[in-house]
Amino acid sequence: MHDAASLNQMLSDRMEEVCLHLLPNGKREGNKWVVGSIDGNSGHSLQVTISGGSVGRFIDFADTTSKGATPLWLWCKTKKVNFPEACKQAAEWLGVKSEDFGVKRHHQKQYLPPSPADRNGVRLTESNTEVMDYLTMTRRLDPLVVAKARIGETKDGKWIVFPYFEPGSGEAFHIKRMMVERPEGRKEITASKGTRRSLYGKDMIGEEASELIIAEGEIDKLSWQSWGYNAVSVPNGVQDFQWVENDWDWLQRFEKIYVAMDMDEPGAACAQEICKRLGLHRCYIVELPHKDANDCLVAGLKADTMDKCLSSAKAIDLDEIKRPDDFRKDVIEHYTNDPSTIGFDTPWYPQVPWRVRPGEFTVLSGFSGSGKTQGLNQLMLHLVQQGLKVMDASLEIRPGLTLYYMTRCAMAKRNATASEASACLNWLNDNVFFLDCIGTVTIDRIIHAMEYARKRHGVDVFVIDSLFKCGLNSEDYGAARVFVDKLTSFCNNTRSHVILVAHSRKTQTGNELSVPSKSDIAGSSDIANAAFNVIIFWRNKLKKRKMDEARQKNDIETLAAQMDEPDGKIMLDKQRFGEGEESVAMVWYHSESCQFHTVRNKSIPYFEVK
């Protein structure tokens, strides 16, 4: 489902139709829809603005409790439903539906419940205990908020226990503990293993809420709640964004999201990422007068001061006009960081001195049958092993067949048992996604799917195989230019990496034994021109031909000599980054594992079969 902010915009664009649907007894007078009351009676006391800057705002002058500022709140009042239900009904009326754009994983990740060890020895915290005194006197939290949060403590009174609940649930899906004392100033925290990482405090958010604060920790969430605000906190610090995927649907209902991380560099970076993932159109970054919300509470700040912090919260500045100072950090990093360490290495590094760097667009080319697909499978596994998430938009091969070759490559063997293959799929499931569509797909659908996968699942690298399955005519150079422009913009805006497969056309000699280059990429020259990197795969078909002939003749000497010849080449034919280094690497293909390596008879298991 579209998020509430997007639904409000769509309803605002059709506000007169919305009013006619919700309040059919009313009529238009200027830029207002007038009717007797929120119940739809005839009259003039209720006025709804249907155009201009205040579109959606309404007030009943005979009953000022009937007022609001958005179309969705008008829907709530007239239909007498809660906010999530109003979002659902409005989406149905608009004709929009939940859409995952064909982005699929192998199967939904399964989480463990907290173990008995996580629950044993825990009781609800009570008055006059060390934990309650710490929370209410040291941290100044409202005791009613502490009680509502169902905070516990260990029997020895040394640990605070934060249970995570889904709304309406009595069973915790995740448990975190924090030691009251801080030896040498260090915060001691433990958490249940294998449980779902999701936002803390969702169960305390009422169904009428349309605005939400996201804080950095449980104590900060409870601080906001002590002032009377609807707040949740991220579950595992500023580096882990798994909660975005898990809470994606729940978060769609909110019109406005305030992001209130700690006032330090990691907190600022986290706030930026949250806004990009949840939507710049509805997220606002909060500046606090102290390091975090609890420091503000301990300092004695009142709700009116926090109101000012929220009202002055800013969206990410999208102004395209910048000064050099805006890029100071990027420039300094180029001087202080070793270029060879930026990004992630490939299976053929350093012989092929190309690294998969954020924000870049790579074109992978070669003749049909040159090994591009096998090479991409190996590359994706290599990136997954380094902790990246990848999405394969292979429009020519079914995901099931791709996964067969990926698991074979991952285990580095041709034959495996069903249990071994299943274990390997479980390993892949967290970090590999597919665009579940075979055949020609429109450019816009691919871009939308990538945007969705980036925001919800945090995908880092996207593979599109191939260019001419994207609804492009090989002679339509204008359309190809538009497509690669959209891809480079996507890379720049999301800091993700896109690899586009674009086949090589026959060289001028028409001989596939010759080696293609970036100038032989089929279609518009804009494809290679727009790329940060161009990788060429070439298969040594002459070796195969000579070996077949030698086998037929039983020519052992020629057969042995040809074994040492490379099976092909992987060429870095363009690299815009750094010094623009290019290279050619001889590679051998290991058929059992479907892997390419720069030495003969080598294979590497990316997944260890136990």
Question: Over the chain, what is the mean pLDDT?
Answer: 91
As a whole-number percent, the residues of the chain with pLDDT over 70 amount to: 97
Task: Pick the more confident residue, 578 or 259.
Answer: 259
pTM (predicted TM-score):
0.82
DSSP states along 534-596: EEEEEE-HHHHHHHHHHHHHT-HHHHHHHHTS-SEEEEEEEE-STT---EEEEEEEETTTTEE
Assess whether pLDDT exceeds 60 at residue 209.
yes
Q: Which residue has the higher pLDDT, 556 or 297?
A: 297
pLDDT digits (tens, 9 = 90+) for 303-319: 999 999 999 999 886 55
Q: How confident is the model at residue 475 (pLDDT cuts 50, 70, 90)?
A: low
Fold of 346-597: Rossmann fold (3.40.50)
In the three-class reduction of DSSP (H, G, I as helix; E, B as strand; rest coil), residue 520 is classed as: helix
pLDDT band at 34 (very low <50, low <70, confident <90, very high): very high
Confidence check: pLDDT of 193 > 70: yes
Q: Tell me, what's the pLDDT at 610?
A: 77
Domain boundaries 4-94, corresponding CATH code:
3.90.580
Do the domains at 118-311 and 346-597 have one common CATH topology? no
Instruction: Report the distance separating Cα 225 and Cα 148, nearest Å.
Output: 10
- Which residue type, as a one-letter code, is found at position 410? A
First to last CA, the chain: 41
DSSP character at residue 136: I
* Domain residue spans of the chain: 4-94, 118-311, 346-597
What residues are paired with 124 via a beta bridge? 152
What pLDDT sits at residue 597?
97
Q: To the nearest whole percent, how much of the chain has pLDDT over 90?
A: 69
| Residue pLDDT, tens place only, 254-285 | 999 999 999 999 999 999 999 999 999 899 99
Helices (H), 345-456: 372-385, 399-411, 418-429, 443-452
At residue 511, the pLDDT reads 66
Q: What is the dihedral of CA 32, 33, 38, 41, to 10 degrees?
A: 130
Q: In the predicted model, is pLDDT for residue 333 greater than 60?
A: yes
Does the pLDDT at position 252 exceed 80?
yes
- CATH fold of 118-311: Dna Topoisomerase Vi A Subunit; Chain: A, domain 2 (3.40.1360)
pLDDT score, position 222: 98
- Confidence class for position 444, pLDDT limits 50, 70, 90: confident
Section 205-212 average pLDDT: 92
pLDDT at 474 over 70: no
Tell me: pLDDT of 512 over 90.
no
Under the banding of pLDDT at 50, 70 and 90, the label for residue 410 is very high
